[in-house]
Amino acid sequence: MRPTSIGHPNESAELFDQLVTKESDDMNAPLPHAVSGVDNLKLFQPARIGDIEVANRIVMAPLTRSRADEAKGDLPGSPMNVEYYRQRSNAGLIISEGTQVSPIGKGYMATPGIYSDAQVEGWKPITQAVHEAGSKIVAQIWHVGRITHPDLTGGVQPVAPSAVKPNVFAYTHNGKVEVPQPRALSIEEIAEVVQQFRRAAANAIRAGFDGVEIHGANGYLVDQFLRDGANKRTDQYGGSIENRARFALEVIDAVVAEIGAGRVGIRLSPVTPANDLSDSNPQAVFGHLIEELNKRGIAFIHFVEGATGGPRDVPGFDFAWARKTFKGSYIANNGYDREMAIEAVESGRADAVAFGRLFIANPDLVQRLIHNAALNTPNPKTFYTPGPVGYTDYPLRDTVSA
């Protein structure tokens, strides 16, 4: 079987093809932030997500844009990076692009890290700009596990719960390459990865973030431990559902101990086949995980409902059950448009809704949703290219009366 392309993490954002309309005229209006009114719709009203107070219930989903400075050690914080996040600070909560917890946790070109002092300093002007604009921001911290290539990790072989090769490609400076078979982590190495997540969370707070989202979705390392399509271990980290959930919960516990449960969330995608991952009983494994997360009192779960970037009606997991069961904030993602988001929050089916690709082309997305305005059309050719084109040059719209 030929490997399938993993593309980039943006493919975990919601579908948008049917949502975008004609490209708006370039209107050089100041970026508004107030979101009162709009018939008192809850989507546009303030809320509290754990310990984090947000101005509205619209979340900017994590979006890899491949514009960190690799030559200086995967550094964020260029003026262009700062402007990108500032423009989108009308969202109540921004979840940063995936930010690796170690050099071998990197899976894509030019993604930022959060493990060095220089990276912490690089994030500070970004978080400051977001706060000055009135928004909140959490760092998405990740380790991609087996979904990488030595070209991206300084020559180091990818690691995973088990030596199971995924049927995917990676994109490196040498082009599109098939990922190699990973090496199974030892017990001692698993403990070190847990500590890498803990240190990343501490660094995120030092950098000015309001909290963290642990990336437990889309076939990356935490997800690889959870699902039996990748986890073939026979020790305390494999086999039973309780064992397969152990790594995720150890990461959660370490991060909660470091920064507090009210500033911690996790992203989950129980039924997505992304990055060649599967599970024989997702309801059971993710149901157990959610019950355990309730015991920890974390702030939120960010659910990818259905297949990542694909159909929503994938069998195998009851998201309505998850909503009723989980005691924290439920952030819904995958295929939402304005009306779907309004309905989800008004009905109580979700506490907040995350938009991904729509935020790429519409930095003032909240205002466009408030006024039901036309949306700019995103250009996929510039999603991952260096420079400001397709990054900070999408036009804003004028403020109009609701």
The residues assigned a catalytic role are 220
- Looking at 271-324, which runs of residues are DSSP E strands? 300-304
Q: Which residue in 72, 74, 113 sits closest to 96, CA to CA?
A: 113
Which three-class secondary structure state does DSSP give residue 144?
coil
Residue showing tokens 């090769």: 165
The Cα–Cα gap between 103 and 115 comes to 8
SS3 at position 63: coil
Q: How far apart are CA 12 and CA 345, in angstroms?
A: 21
Contact 6, 169 (CB under 8 A): yes
CA distances from residue 184 to 52, 179, 194, 231, 280 in whole angstroms, order as listed: 37, 15, 15, 10, 21
Q: How many CB atoms lie within 10 A of CB 364?
A: 28
Question: What is d(CA 252, CA 293) in angstroms, rounded to the nearest whole number?
Answer: 8
Tokens 């978080």 appear where? 127
Provide the β-strand partners of residue 176.
Answer: 171
Phi, psi of 42 (to 5 degrees): -65, -30
CA distance 115 to 24: 40
For 210, phi and psi rounded to 5 degrees? Answer: -85, -10
Rounded Cα distance, 75 and 35, in Å = 33
Asked if residue 213 lies in contact with residue 266, where contact means CB atoms within 8 angstroms, the answer is: yes
